[in-house]
Amino acid sequence: ICDKTVLVTGGAGFIGSHLADALAPHNEVRVLDNFSSGDRSNVPDNVTVVEGDVRDPIALQEAARGVDIIFHHAAVVSVSQSVDAPRASNETNLDASLLVLEQARQEDARVVVASSAAVYGHPSELPVPETAATDPTSPYGVQKLALDQYARLYEELYDLPTVALRYFNAYGPRQQGPYSGVISTFLEQARAGEPITVEGDGEQTRDFVHVSDIVRANLRAATTDAVGNAYNVGTGTRTSINELATIIRDATESSSPIVHRESRQGDIRHSGADISRTKRTLGFDPRISLECGIRSLVEGT
Ligand code: UD2
């Protein structure tokens, strides 16, 4: 997209900052972030940063004034935090999301929201299509499902162009911190020569999708006529955690042992996206295989 004024909430975070990077050369980009987990150094130079909380209507109003599109990526992304403190995560993940949708109505702006594979819980079929049953297993999943449904409803009720993108397991540069996901954990362990900790038997599978493919899905969502829909954003390929451990150990030429520890309570056994709707309707075609994505992470390219 070109010559638009856009707001990226959570634009200093992992996915939001990559999106800001991609948009900045050809658009006027604003970022709203409270830097609770995001980092200022992630934000490109030619972007207007509003330091503020997405829960704060005044900050949001300032950041959203006159925008054409809002990419809503501000969230408490930790599933375990949402289990420990459901109301606190609900305030950011759902209450603030409603503020964003309302603000978009005021501005007559398109909204692309970050939804999640968490809406499916234990998927009722594999690969899981968008039409499958939604049965989240955490407050985080309930919050993302409600957001995803509100986005659809705002299109139906108020004719607001909205798109919900259901991300599967995202990975890539700048993913860090205690809740950052298995790939960044394994990479750190392998680089430090420490044991790579597989939880459970390691035969559980995930659909790992590189952040640059996620950015491409967002850019498609920014222009599609097929609004009011949710789209899976994955690769369609599932990889076991055991395979992942080996790929990472090989790519880093690490001598870390691969060890097993207790499995995570309530862990999803298998997760994988049916991306046929996303391909057909958004023209989305993931480009980065897991091997390639991990190699580029290791090489820092
Ligand atoms: C992902 C998302 C989460 C939510 C959810 C939806 C990430 C980081 N999290 O959670 O936000 O959308 O999907 O279902 O993308 N594991 C190990 N060793 C470790 C760490 C993890 O074996 O040191 C295993 C873990 O037990 C699980 C798998 O790796 O089976 C993936 O764990 P995760 O935390 O990266 O992501 P997930 O799928 O639980």
Residues pairing with 165 in the sheet: 114, 231
- The pLDDT of residue 222: 98
- Give the pair of three-digit tokens for residue 5: 């004024």
- CB count, 10 Å around CB of 49? 17
HSE at residue 26, side-chain half, CA atoms within 13 A, is 7
Rounded to two decimals, the ipTM of the complex is 0.95
Q: Are residues 124 and 95 in the same domain?
A: yes
Q: Are residues 92 and 230 in the same domain?
A: yes
- The pLDDT of residue 139: 97
Q: Which amino acid is at 269?
A: R
Q: Are residues 227 and 103 in the same domain?
A: yes
Q: Are residues 51 and 146 in the same domain?
A: yes
Residue nearest to atom 38 of ligand 1 (CA): 169
Q: Are residues 20 and 86 in the same domain?
A: yes
Query: What's the mean pLDDT when you consider all of the chain?
Result: 97
CATH number assigned to the domain comprising residue 146: 3.40.50.720
Three-state DSSP class for 69? strand
Pairing between strand 69-72 and 110-116?
Answer: parallel
Q: Are residues 177 and 139 in the same domain?
A: no
Catalytic residue, from 120, 140, 154, 167: name it.
Answer: 140
For residue range 238-286, list pLDDT tens digits in order.
999 999 999 999 999 999 999 999 999 889 999 999 999 999 999 999 9
- The pLDDT of residue 128: 98
* Domain ranges, residue 44: 5-170+209-235+272-282
Q: Are residues 85 and 192 in the same domain?
A: no
How is residue 256 annotated by DSSP?
P
In the block, residue with structure tokens 């451990």 = 245
Q: Is 140 a catalytic residue?
A: yes
Q: How many domains does the chain have?
A: 2
9 and 51 in contact (C-beta within 8 Å)? no
**Angle 57-64/96-107 helices, nearest 10 degrees?**
40
Closest CA to 14 of 140, 171, 217: 171
Report the C-alpha gap between 252 and 298 in whole angstroms: 7
Report the C-alpha gap between 53 and 99 in whole angstroms: 11
HSE at residue 287, side-chain half, CA atoms within 13 A, is 8
Q: Are residues 30 and 163 in the same domain?
A: yes
Express as a percent the part of the chain with pLDDT over 90: 97
Q: Are residues 137 and 265 in the same domain?
A: no
How is residue 266 annotated by DSSP?
T
Residue 298 pLDDT > 90: yes
CATH number assigned to the domain comprising residue 181: 3.90.25.10
Residue nearest to atom 28 of ligand 1 (CA): 182
**Which run of H or of E encompasses 260?**
strand 258-261
- Ligand 1 contact via 116 beta carbon (within 6 Å): yes
Q: Are residues 33 and 179 in the same domain?
A: no
- The pLDDT of residue 180: 86
201 and 259 in contact (C-beta within 8 Å)? no
Residue nearest to atom 36 of ligand 1 (CA): 181
Q: Which atom of ligand 1 is nearest to the CA of 264?
A: 26
Three-state DSSP class for 155? helix
For residue range 200-250, list pLDDT tens digits in order.
999 999 999 999 999 999 999 999 999 999 999 999 999 999 999 999 999
- The pLDDT of residue 70: 98
Q: Are residues 96 and 155 in the same domain?
A: yes
Structure confidence at residue 177 as a pLDDT band (50, 70, 90): confident
- The pLDDT of residue 123: 98
**Which run of H or of E encompasses 166?**
strand 162-167
Q: Are residues 149 and 31 in the same domain?
A: yes
Report how far Cα 105 is from the mean position of its chain's Cα atoms: 23
- Ligand 1 contact via 181 beta carbon (within 6 Å): yes
